[in-house]
Amino acid sequence: MGKEIERKFLVIRDDYRLSEKRNSIQQGYLCNETEQVVRVRLYNKQAFLTIKGKTIGITRNEWEYPIPYEDAAELMQLCKGVIEKVRYEVDFKGSTWEVDEFHGQNEGLIVAEIELKSEKEDIPIPEWVGREVTDDPKYLNANLVKNPYQCW
């Protein structure tokens, strides 16, 4: 079983756009409950099925499996909502930050995430990162599909 330990922050400057590592992502939710999420993701020419458990602190169980792209595209038709975003990967002082620039009904929202090895890991924070929103559930992708940023 995999563990996902991550922190999320709002982005206050566009320095992250200097990164040449960017990917288009579409993700839909087959199951979207507080206790469990089942997501299908189209990530450039790849596809994944991801299952996530309930978040406790900043940690949750996560299982992710590659699946055929054609299957994922068909599964997207069963989803109750879809998130569209461009993800930038930004290297900063030995860590890789993922910056999600949302589109569609979440246009205007930009969130930076950093995956950690432990909840106690100390990380340097880039100057383009603002307020931490790790503990605010409205910034979870699974919740953005239910209550998009443009409706806030």
- pLDDT of 142 strictly over 70: yes
DSSP character at residue 70: H
Active site residue 69: no
- Cβ neighbours for 77, distance < 8 A, ≥ 6 positions apart: none
CA 6, distance to chain mean position in Å, is: 10
Domain interval for residue 143: 2-151
Assign residue 52 the CATH number of its domain.
Answer: 2.40.320.10
What mean pLDDT do residues 30-42 have?
A: 94
What is the distance between the alpha carbons of residues 25 and 34, in angstroms, rounded to a whole number? 23
pLDDT at 67: 98
What is the distance between the alpha carbons of residues 46 and 27, in angstroms, rounded to a whole number? 12
Residues 64-91 have pLDDT tens digits of 999 999 999 999 999 988 999 999 999 9
Question: What total number of domains does the chain contain?
Answer: 1
Q: What b/e readout covers 119-145, taking b as 16+ CB neighbours within 10 angstroms?
A: eeeeeebbebbeeebbeeeebbbbebb
Q: What is the DSSP string of 72-85?
A: HHHHGGG-S-EEEE
* Tally of CB atoms within 10 A around 33: 10
| From 16, 29, 43, 88, active-site residue | 29
Residues 37-71 have pLDDT tens digits of 999 999 999 999 999 999 888 999 999 999 999 99
